[in-house]
Structure 1
Amino acid sequence: MVVGKTVCVTGASGFIASWLVKLLLERGYTVRGTIRNPEKAKFLLQLPGASDHLKLFSADLLQSGSFDEAVAGCDGVFHVASPIMVQAITDPQAQFIEPAVNGTLNVLASCAKAHTWRVVLTSTVAAINHTPKCTPDAVLDESFWSEEDYCRERKDWYALSKTLAEKAAWDFVKEKGLDMVVINPGGVFGPTLQASELGSNIYILGILNGTMKGSPNIPFGITGVKDVAMAHVLAYELEHATGRYICSGPVHPFADVVSLVRKLYPMYDISAKVVDKTVPTIPPHNFSSQKLRDLGLCLQPTEDVIHETVTNFKEQGLLD
């Protein structure tokens, strides 16, 4: 694979996607980024190399053909964008599932028209670990899938939407003969390229600034955002990359994350406690990232990821 070809990154101003754009520009690619809000994407134009090698396109995941112009002529497409997820859930099918599935298929349809060499799709470990097979002694690899009935019983609409979207993507590329590789990240943390795109970092910020009085009763596989971006690049550049790749650090109960942050930053008055212990949650488990390591990527240690995240908070004025 020759570095310097033209690629498209969907949802380019997002937390993961913006780091991916930065990394691709550093590696000599010409990047086309799709965005929803031009105002929120201005920071991308300040990245090194952006003036000559980055062009932004407005596109809507839920509009058929919206990605045709951005994708046309691209050797590769990184589909990172996700529909906006609503908080007040009244119709999971309409609010979560259909946007996730249809948005993914709209982008892939544009890739099929453009005869894209390879698509790298951003999924999530939520498409893997929502299953009765996820037990405390389980080590989950890429062969695991979250189960539809299990997600519905637990009303985990995010996991269900991401699972169905990824499965629909695999069916589509098989039918159309597209080459696709999928990255399944865990909880993604680390420095942001703009303060308004905190992503999962909001949990760590909430612990430190006291706004999170009770932490969720869920396990987290803390993964550095720069590692996730590099996983996408390797999945594209290495021709032998195939199938799904889990990209997750060790899984910790969120109570352990709170304890670790308290240990690393004793100068802050951290009062967060675990809440809703009676609410069914994913059992403790671990993921195997061996397949990703075989591509040559070693993930940052959890403490380093948290340290970079907190340093970034201070640089952006989000934390004293």
Structure 2
Amino acid sequence: MYITDPAIPFGSIVVVIGANGYMGVETCEKLLQAGFYVRGTVRDVEKNGPWMHNMFDKSWPGSFELVAVPDFEADGAFDEAFRGAKGVIYVSTPIIFEPDPVKVINPVIKGTINTLEAAARAEVKRYVLSSSSKAVESTIYDRPHHLSSNMFNYEAVRQACCEPSIDGFDRCLTVYSAGRTLAELAFWSWVGKNQPPFVANCVVPDGQFGRVLDAEHISSTFGMLKSAIKGNWDNVMGDLAYFTDVQDSARLLVAAVALPSVENERIFAYCHNSTWNRLRHKIRALFPDKEGLVVGRDQELSGRDLSNADQLINRAEEILKEIGRPGFAAEEDILRDFVDCL
């Protein structure tokens, strides 16, 4: 990454909430590469400390630490973690997959507001929320439409809050989507109402693939693609639309915390549009000699996402170019990195 005149000084503490997740680990590495001190939060330091320090301490000695934040909803939960920090990146919100919206929506909103209030008390200068494509819309195949930066998934909110609660995957996904939608709306509403002392940005990722820095401790969308190429569809959550290299998504998070030119933006980490079956076929074509790499049956689902996100993709690529990247990584490179880590 190439950042010459950051909005916060090099060496500043940047807190990464959810540092042990798939994108969290990448974000920690990109921050360290850029010249910042990283303080990651995890629920259990004893569990995550050894492998994460082993990953970063050799290349960046004395520039990485972990602190425990086991309960995002507790009053003052983030006060100690944010002490002395100049930047905060909220990479990973708690994933609660339940049919009851009360059990899902309230905790996600409470955790988000807790981080914002703690950031204001700590006089943080930059705050970045990593949201979700589910906060924009639910994936619906074969419906042409344009995506814009002011779209929110109000339909998921309506269904979650107004329709009967029925156990099942579709209901849980709808409630999860509603939670992510309302959490991001609460974020923007809080920022607008309170006018905090920090610049607030939001990055909206969809599917994240590519390499994995520590395969033993990662699941997320990397794990779903692993399941898809094996035909284990019970482990694949939802339909695929857009995906990017996880490293590019992490770079956008770092750019959002560090670039003075990025203020009060909703940045979409969208690039390649595909389906699980198309990725299976692409991987098989890229690695014809790897027997047993792609097995099982294709997903029993036809069609694909037909949305147009060109303007959103172009803006994200402008930001990537500002930090020295050529734009988003090519699909083939992302899939090669993925296979290399299996």
Distance 1:90 1:207 in 2: 25
Matched, 1:247 2:269: yes
TM-score normalised by the chain length of structure 2:
0.82
Which amino acid in 1 is paired with 2:329? Q
TM-score normalised by the chain length of structure 1:
0.87
After TM superposition, the structure 1 = structure 2 runs for residues 303-318 of structure 1, keeping only pairs within 5 Å, are: 303-313=332-342
Q: CA deviation at 1:50?
A: 4.5
Check 1:111–1:213 CA distance in 2 against 1; reply closer, same or farther (3 A cut).
Answer: closer
Matched, 1:76 2:87: yes
Q: Which one of 106, 120, 127 corresponds to residue 112 of structure 1?
A: 120
Residue 108 of structure 2 contacts residue 179 of structure 2 at CA under 8 Å; is this kept in 1? yes
Residue 217 of structure 1 contacts residue 274 of structure 1 at CA under 8 Å; is this kept in 2? no
Distance 1:36 1:223 in 2: 27
Residue 240 of structure 2 contacts residue 274 of structure 2 at CA under 8 Å; is this kept in 1? yes
Q: Deviations over 1:233-287 (max 9, x none)?
A: 111111121320001122213222222223223323522322367xxx9853232
Q: CA deviation at 1:202?
A: 1.5
Distance 1:112 1:216 in 2: 35
Residue 11 of structure 1 contacts residue 17 of structure 1 at CA under 8 Å; is this kept in 2? yes
Q: CA deviation at 1:212?
A: 4.1
Sequence identity of aligned pairs in percent? 25
Residue 122 of structure 1 contacts residue 182 of structure 1 at CA under 8 Å; is this kept in 2? yes
Distance 1:224 1:12 in 2: 18
Residue 33 of structure 1 contacts residue 57 of structure 1 at CA under 8 Å; is this kept in 2? yes
Matched, 1:67 2:67: no
Matched, 1:55 2:65: yes
Matched, 1:173 2:182: no
Q: Deviations over 1:30-74 (max 9, x none)?
A: 111111122134222121445301121100212221110111211
2:51 maps to what in 1?
43
After TM superposition, the structure 1 = structure 2 runs for residues 66-215 of structure 1, keeping only pairs within 5 Å, are: 66-86=77-97, 89-94=98-103, 96-130=104-138, 136-147=143-154, 148-149=157-158, 155=171, 156-178=174-196, 179-195=199-215, 196-212=217-233
Check 1:282–1:64 CA distance in 2 against 1; reply closer, same or farther (3 A cut).
Answer: farther
Which amino acid in 2 is paired with 1:142? S
Check 1:171–1:215 CA distance in 2 against 1; reply closer, same or farther (3 A cut).
Answer: closer
Check 1:215–1:296 CA distance in 2 against 1; reply closer, same or farther (3 A cut).
Answer: closer
Kindly tell me the number of residue pairs found equivalent between the two proteins. Answer: 306
Check 1:214–1:175 CA distance in 2 against 1; reply closer, same or farther (3 A cut).
Answer: closer
Structure 1: give runs of 5+ residues left out of the alignment: 314-320
Structure 2: give runs of 5+ residues left out of the alignment: 1-5, 164-169, 322-326
